[in-house]
Amino acid sequence: MPGFADRLNGIGISASAAMTDKATALKAEGLKIISLSSGEPDFPTPAHAVEAAVEAARSGDTKYPPQAGKPALRKAIQAKFLRENNLDYALDEILVANGAKQIIYDAMMATINPGDEVVLPTPYWISYADIARLGGAEIVQVPCPAASNFRLSAADLDAAITPRTKWLVLNFPNNPTGACCPRKDMEEIAAVMLKHEHVWIMTDDIYEHLVYDDFDFCTLAEVEPRLKERVLTVNGVSKAYAMTGWRVGFCGGPRELIAVMNNMQGQSTSGINTLAQAAAIAALEGPQDFLRERAAEYQMRRDLVVSLLNAIPGVQCHTPQGAFYVYPDISACIGKVTPEGRQIKTDADFVMALLEEKQVATVQGGAYGMSPFFRISYATSVETLREGCQRIAEFVQSLK
C-alpha cells in the first residue's frame, strides 16, 4: 500500500469527537447513554435565521459564493465587531470560513514554518495544538492552574515567548475550563505582547456571549489598539446562536494576514455555503435579546452542575464564568479501582470506565493538556444533567 504523510504522525481524532462517537455506538447497542461530552448548544437555531436560508434557496442564491464571504455577510460582521467589540475593520480585513476551526487552520497554515513555536495557555482546546503541529510547529504550554481559577499569568506568558514564537492563542471564555479573562488581566497580557513584536496573536472569542455573574467580556485588540495590526479576532455563529451545523466562522485582522489566509482557503474549500451565509446575516442583524436569555439558562445549569459535583467526595469543581463547561479535579480518584476491577491510573482511565460502567460520556483532561481533570458540557437539559451527575456520584463512590 502507498504510504501516508508524515505530518499526520501523532495527530489523532479529537478526544471529544472520539468520546461522542463511542457514546453513539453504545447507544446503538441499546444502552441509555448520558452524553456530556459534546460542546454543542441544545437550543434551536433562531427561526428568523432558518427562514433567511429558506428564502435564499427559493430566490436562487445557490451559485458559487465569493471566496472571502459575501459582501452582505462581511458588512454584518463589520457591524458586529464595531457594535460589540469597538473594533473597526474594513471589509477586506474580514474573512468568512467553514466554522471558526477553518479560520484557525487558514491562519496557522498561512504563517507557520517548521520549527516555529505556538504558545498555548493550558488547558487548551485540542485542535489548536493539532493544527499547529500539522504546520510543523512546536507547542509551548503555559499552565493556568486551577488554584488561580485557570487564569493566565502575564509573567508566565512573558517567560514562555522565545525568538521562535510565531503565535499566541488566547481563548476566553475558555474551552475546556470556562475560565474568563478580566480586563485587568487582559491589559497585563497586552503589555507583555507589546514587547514581542514578532508574534501574531489569535483571540478565539467563540464563547463571547456565554458569560455569567455580570462578567464584562473584553477582547485583546479592543483593550490595546496598538496590537490590532498583529491580532486575529476569531468568532462565529456556532455557540451563541446555536448554529454549529451551519459552519459559519469569521474573523477580523490585518489586511495582509487576511489576504494570505484567503489564499490558503482558496486551495482547500473556497467560499462557504450561500444558504448558511444568509442565515448568518439574519442571526447577526436580527434580534439579540435571546442571547441574554440563553446565557441565563446556561448559568442556572452551571450552578446546578457545580453544586452536584462538589457534593461528591473526591471531586472538586470550580465555578466557571463563561462557556458551557466545567473541568472538575479528580486527583482523589487516581489509583483507585472500579467495581469491575479497572484501576484508575489516569483521567483517561476514569472517563472510559465512567462511560463503560455507568454510561456517562465525558472527556479526559489530558486531551486538553492538564490532568487529572475531566470535562463536562452542560449544554443539555436539566434532567440529563441531574441524571449524569447522579451516575458520576455513584461511580466515584464505588471506587475502592
What 126-129 contacts at long range (C-beta under 8 Å, 24+ apart), as own/partner pairs, is: 126/14, 126/15, 126/16, 126/367, 126/368, 127/14, 127/101, 128/104, 128/169, 128/171, 129/369
Give Cβ neighbours of residue 145 (< 8 Å, ≥ 6 apart).
Answer: none
> Which tens digits make up the pLDDT trace of 9-43?
888 777 777 877 887 888 888 889 999 998 899 99
Distance from C-alpha of 378 to C-alpha of 325, rounded to nearest angstrom: 6
Average pLDDT over residues 115-142: 97
Nearest Cα neighbor of 323 from 361, 250, 378, 387 is: 378
> Which tens digits make up the pLDDT trace of 214-228?
999 999 999 999 999
Please give the pLDDT value at position 9. 84
> Which tens digits make up the pLDDT trace of 326-378?
999 999 999 999 999 999 999 999 999 999 999 999 999 999 999 999 999 99
Distance from C-alpha of 126 to C-alpha of 176, rounded to nearest angstrom: 9
- Read off the C-alpha cell for 277: 451565509
**Whether the Cβ atoms of residue 394 and residue 358 lie closer than 8 Å to each other:** yes
Lowest mean pLDDT among 15-24, 165-174, 228-237, 271-280: 15-24
What are the CA-CA distances from residue 297 to residues 31, 37, 77 (Å)? 29, 19, 26
The band of 112, judged by pLDDT with boundaries at 50, 70 and 90, is: very high
Cis bond before residue 372 (omega within 30° of 0): yes
Please give the pLDDT value at position 390. 98
Please give the pLDDT value at position 14. 76
Please give the pLDDT value at position 29. 85
Position 130 pLDDT exceeds 80: yes
User: Exposed, middle or buried by CB within 10 Å (0-12, 13-18, 19+), for 219?
Assistant: buried
- Read off the C-alpha cell for 174: 475558555
pTM of the model: 0.95
Q: Which domains does the chain have, with CATH numbers?
A: 12-43+290-398 (3.90.1150.10), 47-285 (3.40.640.10)
